[in-house]
Amino acid sequence: MLVGDATLAREGTMTIDQTKLTALRKGLLEFLILGVVSADTVYAADILKRLSETDFATQEGTLYPLLSKMRREGLLDYEWQESAAGPPRKYYRLTAAGEAQWREFRDYWSSLTNLIDSVGI
């Protein structure tokens, strides 16, 4: 499992320069958001909560621009829903293009995992 292993490695004896991993995580964040939204219709706080216990924990300042960009690219869309406390919320779901990209990314990730497992042998 991607997220579990990443956390485990950090708690262990990881010696990789953290700046390198920061750049890697930053690039992966968008795909993890696709994954979170693919599972359910969610609003921003759900996404933050889902990622909070992982190495991909992020803040609204990062999430909102990313969600806006992904919507502009046609990967996801939202609808407004009233909330019992506070202002109405945007509930996000994947579009057909978003679903396709999520599937494509998972396939690519599997191929990467195979490559990493075999490249050093």
Measured distance CA(101)–CA(120) in Å, rounded: 29
Determine the Cα–Cα distance for residues 32 and 27; give it in Å rounded to an integer: 10
Nearest to 37 by CA among 87, 111, 105: 105
Return the biggest CA–CA distance within the chain: 56
Out of 44, 77, 93, 105, the only residue in the binding site for another protein (CB under 8 A) is 44
Q: Considering only residues 59, 96, 115, 119, which one is a binding residue for another protein as defined by CB under 8 A?
A: 59
Closer by beta carbon to another protein, 68 or else 114: 68
CB of 88 vs another protein, minimal distance in Å: 7
Residue 4 vs 65, nearer CB to another protein: 65
Our CB check for another protein shows the closer of 58 and 101 to be: 58
